[in-house]
Amino acid sequence: MRQSGYNGISYRHVADEVGISKATLHHYFPTKADLGLAVIERFRSEILKIMCDLHEKEHNPLTKLSKYLGVYTLSLSENKLCLCGMLAAEHATLSEQMQTAVTDFFGNHIDWLEIVLREGLMSGRLQFEGNPRRHAKMILATMQGGLLVAKAQGSTENLESLTEHLLSMYRAPHR
């Protein structure tokens, strides 16, 4: 799904990739929407763990932000897009539950980024004007869009440049 989207996969694709029969796959996931929702929830859980680990282990908000942005470059270097970024393009064709899961995924990112930005302002390690939540939304949209464009260009260079630019925009002087 991270390479060809939800509409680009079938039970046959998944069964072949995992090495099980289509019947077995249907047993555990009666509908394609059930399978899609399970994939989203697994991906969301993995990404939330990364974000929670960053929050707990890193004390410098700029470092948290840098490592978060680095996840996008890592994804691209593995020739993969963000699962929910891919699914957002197909939003209208997804089940209501899948749509909600994708929306919640992005909401989790915005919430986390807002916390990091607020911490950064309070500690003096980050600087920016305006509402932290709006900045969080801008960062998420910038990185999701940047990932798609970089994938189309076949290079991590522009995404790395975008990441550096974002960090320089938020880095407080003399920190």
| Domain segments of the chain as ranges | 32-170
* Total-model pTM: 0.91
Selection from 110, 132, 111, 113 nearest residue 121 by Cα:
132
The residue type found at 61 is P
Compute the C-alpha angle 115/67/52, nearest 5°: 50
**126 DSSP assignment:** B
Compute the distance between CA of residue 13 and CA of residue 170 in angstroms, rounded to an integer. 43
List, in order, residues 6 or more apart from 141 with CB less than 8 Å away: none
| pLDDT for residue 70 | 93
Q: What per-residue confidence (pLDDT) applies to 108? A: 97
Amino acid found at 58: E
pLDDT at residue 69 in the model = 96
Spell out, as residue ranges, where the chain has pLDDT lower than 50: none
Q: Which pLDDT belongs to residue 67? A: 96
Q: What is the pLDDT of residue 87?
A: 92
pLDDT for residue 4: 81
117-139: pLDDT as tens digits: 999 999 999 999 999 999 999 99
Phi, psi angles (nearest 5°) of residue 134: -65, -40
Classify domain 32-170 at the CATH superfamily level: Tetracycline Repressor, domain 2 (1.10.357.10)
